[in-house]
Structure 1
Amino acid sequence: MLHIAIFGPQQHHQTSHAGLVAIAPAPTGWHTVDPPDAPSEGNYLECLPTDNGYTLLIECDHATNATSGENLPRGTRLTIDSGVHIAVGDTHIEILNDRAPCDDRELEPLSSTEYGHERSSGQGGPAASTIARWLEALATLHRWPASRCEFYEDAALFAVDPIGLDGAILLRTAGPGEWNIVASRLPHPAAGVAYQPQLVEQAARAGHTLFHSAHSDEQSVVLSPLKDLTGEVVGMVYAYRAPHQTNGRRCIRYLEAQLVELLAQSVGCGMSRLEMEAHAARDRVTYQQAFAPYVAAQVELDAKTLRGSEREVTVLFADLRGFTNLCGQHSTSDTYDLLNDVMDALTAAVMDHGGTLIDYYGDGLAAMWNAPVDQADHAVLACGAALGMQETLPEVSDRWEHLLDKPLELGVGLHTGIAQVGNIGSSQRLKYGPRGSTVNLASRLEQATKMLGAPVVATREVVQRLGGRLLDYRICQAELAGIDEPIDVFVIRTATSSASSLGCISRYEEALTQFEAGNLDHAKQLLITICTDCDLPTQFLIDEIDREHNRRLGRRASDERNVTTTSAIPLSPK
């Protein structure tokens, strides 16, 4: 197996190959090419398998032996024993042969015993100014955010200056036995641009810093694993010292290895911090899509609030009226652009009132309050959102008047009750919402708004929690499909002090009382006196009075309503 490292101004990578492989230039730099794409002319290098190993065939101009500086003309063949290192212009190519005998020196673990041995042997330590420079550089690295694009490059630089090693390579795992170079600092590329995979694997298995402490004329290395939050090895700091004219040292000193370990820990912490920040950012985006900002902030602080629980909530369902027919009249793009505009407005109303978005469906949405965090005035907030939707809808209609025959209409139903709430999605995709009869009742109310002729309706459970902060009045007692008992349905409106409006509402409530008492004529007379400008559902109740008259007179033989029906009005969608 050959390990081919290519280092140039804009590249540094290393790959492993068995068998024939070529190395050729490209616009982005030199790269390896496997058969059958290997070039047969132009500038290239070719690693040829032989009975005894590999031979490197040089078929390019300006190649030199990186160690000796010897020119290597075209046609030169070099035997790859332990390895070869050539330079072509400003690009260095180092090829290691893993069949070659390994360095006789053992990699030693970093421990206090080595340090004590080093000190007792009389070896001089670094000067105080050197140590101060080390610590200052390390502190600087700690302050840099891991998201900074130069973070890895700066970490590699730290191993060279101020620690004083000749080169450093930062690696990240890319799978079992696979490593990618993410950064390097090689001020003396002739001293080596490749890392030794077998040493990297040894340090990864050991899980701690290893280094060459014995003197040698060969390259000495120090390896320190990068670990994630679970202690798993996810990368490696690989640094080396090689004998050359400007550096006579022949090993890695204990304090140097210790600093490389500190460097690895700093990089590992930075990587873990970046991972946590990325995870938090993903969660933040997810929460902000589902929850109002202040709710999202609380959930981000404690994700346990999303656990399943049973609690009181106010649920809202909103749905556009007649949108299905509108879809058939316009192009798909126009239809979806209009729907997106509507949903933006409805969603803003939910978020502005601290709501939790449950889901979008068809041409409507569902939302709730008082989950996942407590909201003492959840019913008021929900009703405020419903009224806000109604207030903003005319603006949307104005923007799309060129497509609309009439202004958009929206029906909203609200109910407060006990529900099971929690994440009904998955660990990859959040879908926090409620389950149970409370949800069903709110949905049925929304469906009834068209028959009632009222844009926002709610149950008594909602009204009881408003504390007079909004205007409400009972529109009728209704029988809803799928709901066992009749319920009182209330209209929700913005509070007003208008004597005319309040007088109209009072007459409507009296008419409803007369209707439920069976006094149909009196009820109808009261309704007729109500001003149409008051925007009350008078026509709905007049129609019910006429229907009840017909039932009593037997004029509707096809009327399937039971003659013993109470004052509750069936509101089943047709």
Structure 2
Amino acid sequence: MLQLAIYDTDSHRFQQAPLAPRGVVLLMSGEGWRLVDPPADGLKGPWIELRSTDEGVRCRVSADPLFTTEVVTPTGPRALVPTDRLTLPVRLACGTTHIELIEAPPAEELKPLMTLERRASQREERSAGPLGNGPAPATLTRWFEAVATLSRWSVGSGEFWQGAASLVIDPLGFDAAYVVERDPATDGHDGWRVLAANITRPELGIGLELSRLNAVIDTATTQFDNALQHDGSAWAIAPWRDEQGSLAGVIVGVRKRHEANARGAVRHLEANLVRLVADVVTSGVVRHAHERRAARRQTLLELAFSPQVAQQIESDERLLDGARREVSVLFADLRDFSRRFHHQTAAGLGPVAAYKLLSEVMDALSEVVVARGGHLIDYYGDGLAALWNAPLDQSDHVVRACEAALACAEALEPISTEWLDRLGGPLGLGVGVHTGSALVGNVGSRWRIKYGARGETMNLASRVERATKTIGVSPIVSAATVQRLAASGGDHFHTQRLCRAHLAGIEQATDLYLLTSEADSSQLGMTASVYAAALAAFEADQLEKASRLLRDAVQNTAAGFLARCVERSRNERQGRRVADRPDAVGAIISLVEA
């Protein structure tokens, strides 16, 4: 099989591919030579066409005065003429680019390489004769300094692979060096790819005989020539490995016979040094894999947590372990967005605009949560859930959660104003907060971290948020949050008890409170004192008194909601005997269907 190799001495770019039966065209582009199918006629830019015929290799070049191609011969370069029929091996030079076409020898014709043991036997050392003489101390010092430099480079940088190839050249003294990668998905003895090359004597040959590399697949040990091959070359091939310890590639050093080469074959020490380069490459590859995995882990953490929290978790991953903690949980949900989405989509808002609006809302609410140290658990439908005091301790978690609850409405106002004309009305938001014990931890996977809480605290917080829709006010907090708020320095908040209610899925009745930042009765629909008196009358079964106090209640307020509850209770009482009436003291409002 004919093998085509291309090497640029300036950029060290190396390409190699088998020659197709029809031949190949090398087309010069901005990124170097590209291999295209013949014929070359009509192509723009400098080109070289190579084709194997019975009379030899036919070579054509484009007519370009700035593009000179020479034939490299043992006696020196000469100009290429159109009538040339070249014999193998064909070597061409075009500026800094060298091109070679050779026939790869069958594997059975290659002289077997010697396997490098961890320490050469005394017999091998004696038989090595003059080849056993080691390099000068200054050479070794320079070489190990270069190895240390390579070990500091990152595999992700372009200089790492080229640096590994350069180490084999200088000061080790090989004429050509290759860093070759093996495709792990390839079976058999195919799939080698050159990552970097450094060739100091391209006129002696640049092609890499891949069949020589295959012996390493079976032995996974360093191989070398302690005597020259029939073509006057000597090879050293050392494997490098991936994170799992599998063969990932090889480092290849090739020495050619020429007047400046007094070393001839590869010495045992030189083979060991090539193996050391391969070991450094292995260390770099493994380190890079660890760094990439750590970076992916960090990215996953920062997708789930703020950068500050992610950094602490990176230092102590036990923070993600399951634990029971007291947390404050916030649920927020856009009011009637699903209904309005479908209506407005039909009316012309369109899904793109609708999702743009939803994205703006979620972005604003998320910023509110993160700015107050909260952890975003997830986005649910048209809203989100967040918690405080996990995974890191926050002694003021209830204060943070309540501040976020109030800030959510403020963050929504500019968005609502911007979209008012297109929506036909303002955006509404329901926010609920509950504080309690929950089981927290990572409920995700290695592909996606999902840190959250489970248990009744989460359910109750969700139901509190849902109650905002029925009662008509927001934000609403639970009695547990109010009690914890009083003990946590939350004196700047105002709370107004709205009612005691049965919530869906919650066994015990819950006292619900309206949360405000100041004494604001606008959502109550009346003064706080009158509302409190009406609620007390209702819970004491004094329905007539409660009805009188609520006769001026404004709809779509807490007072309007309480007035409806009073009226419903009065209607249910009519026609019943006193003995059949339930005990209404401490009346509980059912929000199970809310």
Asked whether the two chains share a fold, i.e. TM above 0.5, the reply is yes
Report the counterpart of residue 137 of structure 1 in structure 2: 146
CA contact (8 A) 1:379 1:462 kept: yes
**In 2, Cα distance between the equivalents of 1:313 and 1:2?**
71
1:169 aligns with 2:188: no
1:550 aligns with 2:571: yes
Report the counterpart of residue 45 of structure 2 in structure 1: none
Matches within 5 A, 1:383-462: 383-401=402-420, 403=422, 405-462=424-481
Amino acid of the residue matched to residue 513 of structure 2? F
- From 14, 17, 21, the equivalent of 1:15 is 17
Give, in angstroms, the shift of residue 308 of structure 1. 5.4
Q: Where in structure 2 are there 5+ consecutive unaligned residues?
A: 43-47, 63-68
**In 1, Cα distance between the equivalents of 2:446 and 2:456?**
26
1:253 aligns with 2:251: no
CA contact (8 A) 2:375 2:390 kept: yes
1:478 aligns with 2:497: no
> Cα 1:506–1:258, aligned 2, differ >3 Å: closer, same or farther?
farther
Report the counterpart of residue 120 of structure 2 in structure 1: 113
Give, in angstroms, the shift of residue 508 of structure 1. 4.0
- From 301, 304, 308, the equivalent of 1:287 is 301
CA contact (8 A) 1:171 1:181 kept: yes
> Cα 1:252–1:94, aligned 2, differ >3 Å: closer, same or farther?
farther
TM-score, with length taken from structure 1: 0.83
Q: What CA RMSD, in Å, does the superposition of the two structures yield over aligned residues?
A: 3.8
CA-to-partner distance for each residue in 1:306-356, whole Å, 9 max, x for gaps?
A: 455665544322111233354305243332222222111111122223333
Give, in angstroms, the shift of residue 29 of structure 1. 4.4
Amino acid of the residue matched to residue 570 of structure 1? S
Matches within 5 A, 1:35-434: 37-39=37-39, 43-47=48-52, 56-60=57-61, 62=69, 64-65=71-72, 67-68=74-75, 69=77, 73-74=81-82, 76-77=84-85, 84-88=90-94, 90-99=97-106, 102-113=109-120, 118=125, 121=129, 123-174=132-183, 175-176=185-186, 177-215=190-228, 218-303=232-317, 305-306=319-320, 312-324=326-338, 326-327=340-341, 328=344, 330-401=349-420, 403=422, 405-434=424-453
**In 2, Cα distance between the equivalents of 1:520 and 1:335?**
45
> Cα 1:414–1:204, aligned 2, differ >3 Å: closer, same or farther?
farther
**In 2, Cα distance between the equivalents of 1:136 and 1:516?**
86
CA contact (8 A) 2:116 2:268 kept: no
Amino acid of the residue matched to residue 493 of structure 1? T
Amino acid of the residue matched to residue 489 of structure 1? L
Give, in angstroms, the shift of residue 446 of structure 1. 1.5
Q: SS of the residue aligned with 1:6?
A: strand
Q: SS of the residue aligned with 1:164?
A: coil
> Cα 1:219–1:399, aligned 2, differ >3 Å: closer, same or farther?
farther
Give, in angstroms, the shift of residue 299 of structure 1. 2.9
Q: Where in structure 1 are there 5+ consecutive unaligned residues?
A: 556-561
Amino acid of the residue matched to residue 348 of structure 1? E
CA contact (8 A) 2:175 2:200 kept: yes
Amino acid of the residue matched to residue 352 of structure 1? A
CA contact (8 A) 1:94 1:193 kept: no
TM-score, with length taken from structure 2: 0.80
Greater alpha carbon shift after TM alignment, 63-72 vs 274-283: 63-72
**In 2, Cα distance between the equivalents of 1:159 and 1:473?**
79
**In 1, Cα distance between the equivalents of 2:59 and 2:2?**
16
Q: SS of the residue aligned with 2:102?
A: strand
The total of aligned residue pairs comes to 555
CA-to-partner distance for each residue in 1:433-481, whole Å, 9 max, x for gaps?
A: 3444433332222221122222122333333433243333432111223
**In 2, Cα distance between the equivalents of 1:141 and 1:115?**
32
**In 1, Cα distance between the equivalents of 2:94 and 2:498?**
88
> Cα 1:20–1:570, aligned 2, differ >3 Å: closer, same or farther?
same
CA-to-partner distance for each residue in 1:371-420, whole Å, 9 max, x for gaps?
A: 44554544443333323323322243345455455443211123344555
> Cα 1:505–1:197, aligned 2, differ >3 Å: closer, same or farther?
farther
CA contact (8 A) 1:293 1:351 kept: no
Give, in angstroms, the shift of residue 73 of structure 1. 4.3
> Cα 1:362–1:3, aligned 2, differ >3 Å: closer, same or farther?
same
CA contact (8 A) 1:22 1:47 kept: no
Report the counterpart of residue 65 of structure 2 in structure 1: none
Q: SS of the residue aligned with 2:261?
A: coil
- From 539, 545, 559, the equivalent of 2:560 is 539
Greater alpha carbon shift after TM alignment, 89-98 vs 275-284: 89-98
**In 2, Cα distance between the equivalents of 1:554 and 1:66?**
119
Greater alpha carbon shift after TM alignment, 178-187 vs 293-302: 293-302
Greater alpha carbon shift after TM alignment, 346-355 vs 405-414: 405-414
**In 2, Cα distance between the equivalents of 1:17 and 1:304?**
58
Amino acid of the residue matched to residue 208 of structure 1? T
> Cα 1:356–1:500, aligned 2, differ >3 Å: closer, same or farther?
closer
**In 1, Cα distance between the equivalents of 2:408 and 2:135?**
72
1:517 aligns with 2:534: no
Give, in angstroms, the shift of residue 430 of structure 1. 3.5
Give, in angstroms, the shift of residue 425 of structure 1. 4.4
Report the counterpart of residue 4 of structure 1 in structure 2: 4
> Cα 1:510–1:41, aligned 2, differ >3 Å: closer, same or farther?
same
Q: SS of the residue aligned with 2:289?
A: helix
Greater alpha carbon shift after TM alignment, 422-431 vs 115-124: 115-124
**In 2, Cα distance between the equivalents of 1:231 and 1:448?**
59
> Cα 1:341–1:240, aligned 2, differ >3 Å: closer, same or farther?
same
Report the counterpart of residue 559 of structure 1 in structure 2: none
